[in-house]
Amino acid sequence: MNKNDGLNSAWTDSLTRNQQPDDTALLSHLRTVHQHNAGFTEMCASTCRDEEGRNSYEWLAEVVPSVNGTRVLDLACGSGPLLEILYDRNSNLQLTGVDMSPEELALAKTRLPKGVAQFFELKAQDLNVISDNSIDVVLCHWALTLMNPIGPVLDEIRRVLSTEGRFAALVDGPMSAASRYTEVHDLIYKCVQAELPSYGQVDLGDPRIRGTDSLNHLVSATFPDAEVTVKTNVVSMEGPATEVAELAAGFFYAAFTLPTEVRRTMLLELSDLLALSNLGGDSVRQARFSMPINRLLVVPSPK
Ligand SMILES: C[S@@+](CC[C@H](N)C(=O)[O-])C[C@H]1O[C@@H](n2cnc3c(N)ncnc32)[C@H](O)[C@@H]1O
């Protein structure tokens, strides 16, 4: 990655040539982003909270029963914030973290006492070291949206889950659910499209994960005997406008492709967009950013 010119990868090269990037280009693009920005997801996601004060990791962690010995797999665990929350809630869970980014896994390993979780560098499409029926809860926080092909990922989740096991994932919610989110999205994508016009028509991952109904249909096809629900929530953060804009933009993979100067201009526009004009009298301008989130939950149907 060239810090001055934004991120270039086989994936962005395909977009420049107006071609559909293949799965290998997607993996290499994501690996490059995470190699240079390990831990970036949690900077924004752990700060944003819902009306009950929970961040999205905490909301997702609620689906794990507090029963000693419960075997939990955090799929695409990144830098490990969810595993840390789970460990703090119950140190007697059996925790496993999987990710394809060695840089993210290295961070995850440092935040938990040695030996309390096992970690594997694997692609979610092939969890070969994890046995059939060996996991009680599979969690996936903000990563299912990036995975393509998605079919083998869902098949692997089904394979490793025990008969009574459950699967829950945190993904993007409907844009209209959060105030000004569509404007934030459109501003960032407008800047990115000035450089890469087809970014947005082509995006990371399988688009079916981003729609509430399409997600439900897709997952129900792999888990026909289960109860599949998708619940929408909104998480927000407030703070100095420049910091909020930086954190919010940092959450959009698209923003990593912007050249430094374009990114700087975009951040100024974003600060203006998110500013809370009614908080006068303070020299530091305050802003608020809200994100829509969906929590997918797959549980065995009652017999
Ligand atoms: C947005 S980050 C989320 C990380 C973490 N779950 C969190 O929320 O803080 C996405 C993570 O998914 C991982 N990832 C993306 N596609 C993957 C795949 N096919 N297999 C394994 N990991 C993948 C990336 O390496 C990255 O760590």
Query: What CATH number has the domain bearing residue 106?
Result: 3.40.50.150
In a domain, 2, yes or no: no
Any atom of ligand 1 within 6 Å of the Cβ of 287: no
Q: Is 77 in the pocket of ligand 1 (CB under 6 A)?
A: yes
Q: What are the per-10-residue average pLDDT scores of the chain (303 residues)?
A: 65 85 87 87 93 98 97 98 97 97 96 95 97 98 95 97 97 95 95 87 88 95 95 96 94 90 94 81 84 96 77
Q: Which of 292, 53, 49, 54 is nearest to 183 (CA)?
A: 292
Residue nearest to ligand 1 atom 13, measured at CA: 76
Q: Kindly state the tokens that stand for 195.
A: 């450089």
**Cβ atoms of residues 162 and 133 within 8 Å:** yes
Domain count, the chain: 1
| d(C-alpha 43, C-alpha 41), whole Å | 6
- In-domain check, residue 164: yes
Sequence-separated (6 or more) residues with CB below 8 Å from residue 99? 76, 77, 78, 105, 108, 119, 121, 122
> For the whole model, what pTM was predicted?
0.94
Cβ pair 153, 171 in contact under 8 A:
no
Beta-bridge mates of residue 173: none
Q: Identify whether 5 is part of a domain.
A: no
Query: Does residue 1 fall inside a structural domain?
Result: no
> From start to end of 208-263, where are the E strands?
226-240
Q: In this predicted structure, what is the pLDDT of residue 3?
A: 42
Residue 96: predicted pLDDT: 98
User: Ligand 1, atom 5: nearest CA belongs to which residue?
Assistant: 78
Q: Give residue 276 CA to ligand 1 midpoint distance, Å.
A: 32
Does the CB atom of residue 78 touch ligand 1 within 6 A?
yes
Residue 246 to residues 67, 268, 283, 293, Cα–Cα distance (Å): 39, 9, 19, 20
Q: Token pair of 194, please?
A: 């000035």
pLDDT of residue 1: 42
Q: Is 114 contained in some domain?
A: yes
| 100 CB within 6 A, ligand 1 | yes
Choosing from 30, 119, 121, 256 the residue with most ligand 1 atoms within 8 A of its CB, the one to mutate for a pocket test is 30
Range(s) of the domain holding residue 261: 10-300
The whole-number pLDDT of residue 2 equals 40
Residue 95 resides in a domain? yes
Q: Which two tokens stand for residue 8?
A: 């270039």
The whole-angstrom separation of Cα 42 and Cα 57 is 9
In a domain, 190, yes or no: yes
How many Å apart are CA 155 and CA 19, to the nearest integer? 28
55 pocket-lining for ligand 1 (C-beta < 6 Å) = no
Ligand 1 center from residue 176 Cα (angstroms)? 25
CA–centroid distance, 154 to ligand 1, in Å, is: 15
Q: Is residue 275 part of a domain?
A: yes
